[in-house]
């Protein structure tokens, strides 16, 4: 390893005098990791959890457990998977549960394109140059910040940024799992922060509007209702994630002693520079093509061809739903350009080999997904998640807490529910009809209630096995630590959950004290009759 690499490691490790102060936290996280890793292999654990859901559905059905859906008034009863009908559903749905599991196709298609770029040497060369050029003390911040921005198209963050960040840290002489954790914290823990609106914004706003109209039939919630708050959150959460990585996570991990070797840090060769030039040209052309496709219809000849043909909107359009295909084409296009120009690709067989190698790394992930998909499907079929969420919401509503404690408790409940229900929109569809009208009657605007929900929904993403991409993160971690398990991931990410929760709650209180609007036309409070 070069002297420059050693310097990077020394400058990014916590000072020795901080060890005693963090020893209590280190011991606590060590206990969490050991306790978590005593659990069976993640694939086995998901299989056990699926079996427990089946057994639980039988008990819930026997006790006639049911709730009234707060939005539709429909009676939601527990579905019994221990019945003949349930057994039929389990047997006939096993294949489609696996093949229709949302992240599976997303990850595999994206990885095929990334495999072309990686097999050509483009990613390794670009990482090496980036590490050599980037300011050492800003590396962590840049990764967390990039993770937050990737939330506009979250697949990019999970399937590309997270594993690449581990490689970047290793090349910089730092622990790769720390880089992985930093990116994961930004992508998932900072899910509600961003400088741009994403597909989740209009989705949540629509649910909030429907719930608000229970009290005021004329109330409107616009998709940018939380934009000011989330814009500021982007920088605050990026700074908090940087601090957690540098001061808590990386010192606990220590020096990396695994078998993976960092990419040698040397200047680019003439062949590599030629490859990078052509990759850049192709990348720019593809970027211009995408920009042209996303421009407002009619602004330029042929512009907007990836917008919604009916409405001309961008948020719910082929452009947004085609993000994964774009990852594939950009990875394949730039990888081929680099490989041909640099001489690393001399035949189509080498290109196919690069794609095949990328698939080899996905073997464990596909095993995990098979069992995770069954568990998630069974949990949805039984309505147990819906019943638990409604019962928890009713309990909080009847607690008699004052407005401010109720708002803080609502954040906490949202965070807890996120551990058992991974979908942000599904949870809000259940919770909004309860909490939005309730808090409106106390003078809180629907937009403020939505912000509180989004805080809770984001902070526990990184420790929730129900989070859609959690199995993928476990698979990534085992590349750098073959002995790692769910406990390793949870212990590594728990400090982010704690710090992000504290920072966001303080920010929310400050926002309330100063009476700042949380978005365009979005007040904090509304008049009460």
Reported as a single tens digit per residue, the pLDDT across 62-72 is: 998 888 866 56
- Dihedral, 107, 109, 112, 118 alpha carbons, nearest 10: -50
d(CA 179, CA 250): 9
Tell me the pLDDT tens digit for each residue of 495-512: 999 999 999 999 998 998
Confidence class of residue 38 from pLDDT cuts 50, 70 and 90? low
Highest mean pLDDT among 170-184, 289-303, 367-381: 170-184
160 neighbors 394 (Cβ within 8 angstroms): no
Total residues found in the chain within this entry: 529
Q: Residue 346: exposed, middle, or buried by beta-carbon count in 10 A (0-12, 13-18, 19+)?
A: exposed
d(CA 307, CA 320): 9
Say yes or no to pLDDT of 33 above 50. yes
Cα 140–chain centre separation: 18
**Closest CA relative to residue 414, chosen from 448, 378, 461:** 461
In the numeric block, the tokens 């949805």 are attached to 380
Cα 503–chain centre separation: 19
**Closest CA relative to residue 524, chosen from 404, 376, 390:** 404
Highest mean pLDDT among 4-13, 26-35, 196-205: 196-205
Spell out a b/e string for 50-61, using b for 16 or more CB atoms within 10 Å of the CB, else e: beebbebbbebb
Structure confidence at residue 264 (pLDDT): 59
454 neighbors 468 (Cβ within 8 angstroms): no
Strand duo 75-77 + 66-68: pairing: antiparallel
Confidence class of residue 529 from pLDDT cuts 50, 70 and 90? low
* Tokens standing for residue 108: 């595999």
Between these two residues, 220 and 398, which has the higher pLDDT value?
220
146 neighbors 281 (Cβ within 8 angstroms): no
């Amino acid at each position: 390893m070069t002297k420059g690499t050693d310097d990077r490691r020394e400058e990014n490790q916590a000072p020795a005098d901080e060890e005693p102060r963090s020893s209590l936290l280190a011991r606590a996280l060590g206990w969490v990791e050991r306790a978590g890793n005593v659990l069976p292999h993640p694939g086995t654990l998901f299989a056990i959890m699926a079996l427990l859901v089946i057994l639980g559905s039988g008990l819930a059905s026997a006790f006639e457990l049911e709730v009234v859906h707060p939005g539709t008034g429909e009676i939601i009863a527990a579905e019994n998977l221990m019945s003949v009908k349930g057994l039929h559903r389990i047997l006939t749905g096993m294949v489609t549960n696996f093949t229709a599991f949302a992240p599976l196709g997303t990850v595999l298609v994206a990885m095929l394109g990334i495999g072309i770029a990686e097999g050509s040497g483009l990613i390794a060369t670009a990482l090496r140059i980036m590490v050599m050029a980037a300011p050492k003390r800003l590396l962590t911040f840049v990764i967390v910040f990039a993770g937050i921005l990737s939330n506009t198209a979250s697949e990019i963050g999970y399937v590309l940024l997270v594993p690449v960040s581990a490689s970047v840290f290793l090349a910089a002489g730092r622990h790769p799992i720390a880089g992985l954790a930093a990116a994961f914290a930004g992508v998932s823990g900072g899910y509600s922060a961003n400088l741009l609106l994403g597909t989740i914004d209009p989705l949540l706003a629509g649910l909030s509007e429907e719930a608000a109209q229970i009290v005021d039939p004329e109330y409107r919630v616009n998709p940018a209702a939380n934009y000011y708050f989330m814009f500021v959150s982007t920088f605050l959460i990026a700074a908090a994630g940087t601090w957690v990585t540098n001061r808590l996570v990386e010192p606990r991990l220590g020096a990396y002693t695994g078998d993976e070797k960092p990419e040698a840090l040397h200047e680019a060769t003439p062949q590599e520079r030629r490859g990078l030039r052509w990759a850049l040209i192709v990348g720019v052309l593809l970027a211009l093509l995408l920009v042209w496709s996303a421009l407002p219809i009619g602004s330029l000849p042929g512009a907007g061809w990836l917008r919604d043909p009916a409405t001309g909107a961008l948020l719910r359009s082929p452009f947004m739903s085609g993000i994964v295909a774009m990852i594939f084409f950009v990875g394949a296009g730039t990888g081929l350009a680099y490989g041909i120009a640099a001489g690393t690709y001399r035949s189509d067989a080498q290109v196919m080999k690069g794609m095949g190698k990328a698939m080899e790394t996905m073997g464990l992930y596909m095993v995990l997904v098979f069992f995770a998909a069954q568990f998630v499907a069974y949990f949805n079929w039984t309505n147990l998640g819906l019943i638990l969420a409604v019962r928890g919401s009713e309990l909080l509503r009847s607690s008699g807490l004052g407005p401010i404690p109720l708002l803080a408790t609502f954040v906490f409940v949202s965070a807890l529910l996120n551990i058992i229900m991974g979908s942000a929109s599904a949870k809000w569809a259940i919770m909004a009809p309860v909490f939005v009208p309730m808090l409106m009657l106390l003078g809180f605007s629907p937009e403020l209630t939505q912000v509180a929900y989004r805080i809770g929904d984001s902070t526990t993403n990184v420790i929730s096995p129900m989070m859609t991409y959690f199995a993928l993160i476990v698979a990534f971690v085992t590349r750098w630590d073959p002995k790692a398990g769910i406990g390793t991931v949870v212990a590594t990410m728990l400090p982010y959950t704690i710090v992000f929760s504290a920072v966001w709650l303080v920010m929310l209180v400050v926002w309330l004290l100063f009476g700042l609007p949380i978005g365009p036309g979005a007040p904090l409070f509304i008049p009460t009759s």
